[in-house]
Amino acid sequence: MTKSVVSGLTVSYQPISALKPFPRNSRTHSKQQIQQIAESIRVFGFTNPVLIDGENRVVAGAGRVVAAQLLGIDQIPTICLEGLSPDQIRAYAISDNRLAQKAGWDQEALAIELQHLITIDNGFDVSVTGFEIPEINLIIQERKRRHDRAGISHVSDRKQVVSKFGDVWLLGPHRVVCGDSPGRESYAAIGRAIQLWQTCTGHQALHAVTGKAFDEVASGSEASRE
């Protein structure tokens, strides 16, 4: 069993056969979800250690264990919750899942990220994110509808470049200054940030020199400049 210490926690690689199910595990996983977890592990690796107690019982990560078995993985990373009492461990087994359910999504940021991923040209399977293609299409379309209602032009998030070196954009009391960059993507990222600010505030960003609105520049001939 090999070990490495990360931020005070000991990560131990153990054979799956040495792990035991946690009694009265209240969390369930569908076959489809297990397949999605397995695909995530296949693409990204086993990046999230399984949490176990002193008796090698799986406190959190049962789905990852089953997914690893599907992939034929013999050993997986684990962290032993040595400092918790048995009652604390029972409570944690519930809270680890319940607290994650209470998280929400920033729909604007999510749509931008998903739209970027579906434009990758190397065959990247965006469903590895856990979102199915129909869901992704709905999220992106809803973002476009929000922009249309707000009167904000829809700018391609990955390829269209509005800013260049030396540009200064006025975002209310804020200033965004474009520095030097060897790649278009850095300037495209500025455009995405400005779009997000416009959507959240309902205001238009203005070019400090020309006084033109960001969307006016984006929809005009300057939108393709380097």
> Which of 101, 118, 138 is the last residue before a domain boundary?
101
Q: Is 205 exposed, middle or buried (0-12, 13-18, 19+ CB in 10 A)?
A: buried
Closest of 214, 158, 206 to residue 186, by C-alpha: 158
Closest of 179, 161, 169, 157 to residue 204, by C-alpha: 169
Name all contacts of 97-100 with Cβ < 8 Å and 24+ positions apart: 97/26, 97/27, 97/60
Enter the tokens of residue 85. 């009492």
174 and 119 assigned to the same domain: yes
What is residue 27's predicted lDDT score, i.e. its pLDDT?
86
> Which of 82, 101, 120 is the last residue before a domain boundary?
101
Which range of residues forms the domain containing residue 172? Answer: 107-224
User: What amino acid is encoded at 136 in this protein?
Assistant: I
91 and 119 assigned to the same domain: no
CB 112 within 8 A of CB 193: no
Low-confidence ranges of the chain (pLDDT < 50): 4-7, 155-158, 221-226
CB 191 within 8 A of CB 159: no
b/e code 111-149 from CB counts within 10 Å (16+ = b): bbbbbbbeeeeeeeebeebebeeeebeebbeebeeebee
